A and B are shown apart, each in its own frame.
Chain A
Amino acid sequence: MELTSQMIKERDMALVDRFKGGDLAAFEELMGLYENQIYGFLVKMCGCAEGAKDVVQNTFLNAYRYLGKFRGDAAFKTWIYKVASTSCLKEKRKESSRGFHISLDDFLPKEKPGPNHKKPSWLRTPIEELLNTELSSHLKQSVVKLPKKYRLVLVLRDLEGFTAEEASEALDISVGAVKSRLHRARLFMRKELVGYYGDRSTT
């Protein structure tokens, strides 16, 4: 039987309560439930497994330290992603894109396509034929080029499946900010893809 989100929330809260009573096994159980998900999230955020290992450790160490204050207003899953996102923002290493702002103007089509304009050929190519290891590695590097405030939103929403509301709770920003950052991050990624295919007829 598949658990509903309410059942998951109650299961997790029961474990949190046991932990608050001093039961380390309850915390380890919570780790077992979420560590792969959080690790996967951080690998996408860091662009490599090695960098993610340090952040995953800080995430669960901070979770251990602050779980006593968790009241259960949000789901534990949202809370643990919030701890992971904060750990990620604090991780300064390899962050070369700080202060980089993405403006919508950077992505506006420069001119109206002429009469001989052709659609990029990859638009017509089936998705199965497009996906390959080289493309995947190119896109992973592209995600890491994004400043973290945009990267976090893109990874949470498009790769981890968070709703706008969940991402807003996990990142402590408004739903409007989530949507605005997501759109800019997607435009950036789209530009990277267009660059990859070497077809610059559309930005």
Chain B
Amino acid sequence: MKDDCLALFEKMSEYIDGELDPKLVTFAEEHLASCPDCGENLELMKKSLTIIKGSFQEQVPDSCQKELREVIRKEHEQNK
């Protein structure tokens, strides 16, 4: 792996999140324009993230509100 590819590989998440130092953003964009392998690597990471986020978007199972309140009330009584 070339040094520039390696440098981008290490900073890929920060680049995706828009948290990369602006000077490095210029480097990343110039490199991506000329390196199809890194382009595919980035595309794979972005798609993976979309799939991961999408897979966890579901209703949480029934909560444990009642038990939770009982535990806290008991603790409160003991502390009085």
Q: When the two chains form their complex, are residues B60 and A39 in contact, meaning their CB atoms are under 8 A apart?
A: yes
Q: Which residues of A contact B17 (CB under 8 A)?
A: 164
Residues of chain B at the chain A interface (Cβ within 8 Å): 1, 6, 9-10, 12-14, 17, 19, 37, 40-41, 43-45, 47-56, 58, 60-61, 63-65, 67-69, 71-73, 75-76
User: Known contacts A104-B10, A108-B1; can you find 9 more A-B pairs with CB under 8 A?
Assistant: A49-B61, A56-B64, A57-B68, A60-B68, A64-B76, A104-B9, A136-B55, A164-B19, A186-B52
Q: Which residues of B contact A170 (CB under 8 A)?
A: none
Closest 8 CB pairs of A and B: A183-B13, A136-B55, A40-B60, A190-B48, A49-B61, A139-B55, A131-B54, A53-B64
For the complex, is A72 an interface residue (Cβ under 8 Å from B)? no
28 sampled A-B residue pairs with Cβ under 8 A: A27-B72, A31-B68, A36-B63, A40-B60, A43-B60, A44-B56, A49-B61, A57-B68, A57-B71, A60-B68, A64-B76, A109-B1, A113-B37, A123-B43, A127-B50, A127-B51, A130-B51, A135-B51, A136-B58, A139-B55, A158-B52, A164-B17, A182-B13, A183-B10, A186-B45, A186-B48, A190-B45, A202-B41
Q: When the two chains form their complex, are residues B37 and A189 in contact, meaning their CB atoms are under 8 A apart?
A: no
Q: When the two chains form their complex, are residues B71 and A60 in contact, meaning their CB atoms are under 8 A apart?
A: yes
Q: When the two chains form their complex, are residues A109 and B76 in contact, meaning their CB atoms are under 8 A apart?
A: no
Q: Which of A147-203 contact B (CB under 8 A)?
A: 158-159, 164, 179, 182-183, 186-187, 189-190, 193-194, 202
